[in-house]
């Protein structure tokens, strides 16, 4: 098997074996604590610009299928695992992880100490890294890293959103209450939306329209929506000025009572709404990536185990007085949700749709439907 290496920008270095395509790739290295769901992680647009290190040691044992995807293509810059499963077995499986990565030209590495990598990132913070199967000269690799851009100040949303307006037709296939009746229309501002968000919305809304973030409010209102949702997406929210400006216009019209609809944000959408409301955002030391984050609802006291994937956070101290923090992360007490005290607007930092992860927070989509239809009546 072909040799591969990993170098982080502070000089941390490991050698292993090539996984997937041969070549080189650069990105911000983060670790994900999910035990399963590697296919969903690979296709999540929120991972654009990032190399993902899986903390669970054995990856690939149930193969790859054409259903468990969160976008139309692989989005990660690279993939790091401890051990690739030599076999895969699942009734839905169509190919191996190795084949999947090669077909999509994703460079990865296996046979490295993912525990050591994770501990290093927790202490030092997430940082740029390079995986190579062709160059093992440390000075050469370091020079390439130094020339690579940081995700701070970089607009990654423009690299992942769909420029077309389309209607999402596929509902979620799950154990949802069959008594739920889809009603109304939701418009999703695609900042890198996951398919699972659209599937969940389709359970509650009769029509789900997806638009790019570079769209006018007037065009959105032509669809006569009852709700607008700002989706998840990759990277730093501050450079995504077009989405922030759109959110500002929506909020201004809500304040003037010119609009009668509900507004929600998920992950990057939560941060975009925060910036539009006048708050600030900052970069977390190593971000939240995984399916085991406990989040407390401050209104009810209920604790959900949530799926998360973000490097940036809303500064709760910078929020205006008419915004209430509704959820907190019990690992580090960072804000995980907020709501406007007067307007029909709320957002969550975690991923209520999971994909992968626990289903504890799916009720959030029902809450969104409630405020949307309440505003319309």
- 327 flagged as catalytic: no
CB 30 within 8 A of CB 289: yes
Q: Residues 270, 293, 327, 351: which is the catalytic one?
A: 351
| Three-state secondary structure call for residue 216 | coil
- 310 flagged as catalytic: no
Q: Residues 5, 53, 267, 372: which is the catalytic one?
A: 267
- In terms of Cβ atoms closer than 10 Å to its own Cβ (0-12, 13-18, 19+), residue 81 is buried
| CA distances (Å), origin 170, targets 41, 75, 279, 326 | 20, 22, 35, 31
CB 249 within 8 A of CB 217: yes
- 267 flagged as catalytic: yes
Most distant CA atoms of the chain, gap in Å:
66
Alpha carbons 187 and 336: distance in angstroms, whole number: 23
- Is the N-terminal amide bond of 356 cis, ω within 30° of 0? yes
Q: Residues 28, 40, 238, 353: which is the catalytic one?
A: 353
CB 259 within 8 A of CB 227: no
Give me the count of residues in the chain: 377
Quote the strand ranges of 34-126, DSSP E. Answer: 50-54, 58-59, 78-80, 83-84, 107-110
Q: Which residues are catalytic?
A: 267, 351, 353
């Amino acid at each position: 098997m072909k040799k591969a290496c990993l170098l982080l920008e502070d000089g941390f270095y490991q050698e292993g074996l090539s996984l997937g395509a041969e070549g080189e790739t650069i990105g911000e290295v983060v670790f994900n604590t999910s035990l399963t769901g590697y296919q969903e992680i690979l296709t999540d647009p929120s991972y654009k610009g990032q190399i993902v290190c899986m903390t669970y040691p054995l990856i690939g044992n149930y193969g790859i299928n054409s259903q468990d995807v969160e976008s139309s293509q692989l989005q990660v810059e690279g993939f790091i695992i401890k051990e690739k499963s030599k076999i895969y077995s699942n009734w839905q499986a169509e190919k191996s992880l190795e084949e999947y990565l090669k077909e999509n030209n994703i460079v990865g590495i296996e046979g490295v100490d993912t525990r050591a990598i994770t501990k290093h990132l927790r202490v030092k913070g997430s940082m740029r890294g390079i995986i190579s199967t062709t160059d093992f000269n440390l000075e050469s690799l370091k020079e390439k890293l130094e020339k690579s851009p940081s995700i701070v100040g970089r607009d990654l949303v423009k690299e992942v959103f769909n420029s077309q307006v389309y209607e999402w037709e596929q509902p979620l296939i799950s154990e949802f209450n069959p008594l739920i009746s889809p009603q109304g229309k939701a418009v999703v501002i695609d900042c890198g939306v996951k398919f699972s968000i659209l599937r969940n919305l389709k359970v509650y809304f009769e029509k789900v329209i997806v638009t790019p973030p570079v769209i006018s409010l007037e065009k959105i209102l032509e669809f006569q929506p009852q709700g607008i949702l700002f989706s998840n997406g990759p990277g730093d929210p501050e450079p995504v000025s077009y989405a922030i400006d759109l959110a500002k216009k929506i909020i201004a019209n809500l304040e003037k009572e010119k609009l009668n609809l509900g507004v929600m944000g998920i992950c990057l959408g939560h941060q975009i709404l925060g910036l539009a409301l006048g708050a600030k955002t900052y970069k977390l030391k190593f971000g939240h990536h995984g399916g085991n984050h406990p989040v407390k609802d401050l209104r009810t006291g209920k604790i959900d185990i949530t799926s998360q994937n973000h490097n940036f956070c809303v500064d709760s101290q910078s929020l205006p007085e008419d915004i209430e923090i509704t959820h907190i992360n019990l690992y580090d007490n960072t804000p995980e949700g907020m709501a406007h005290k007067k307007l029909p607007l709320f957002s969550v930092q975690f991923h209520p749709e999971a994909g992968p992860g626990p289903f504890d927070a799916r009720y959030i989509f029902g809450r969104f439907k409630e405020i949307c239809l309440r505003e319309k009546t």
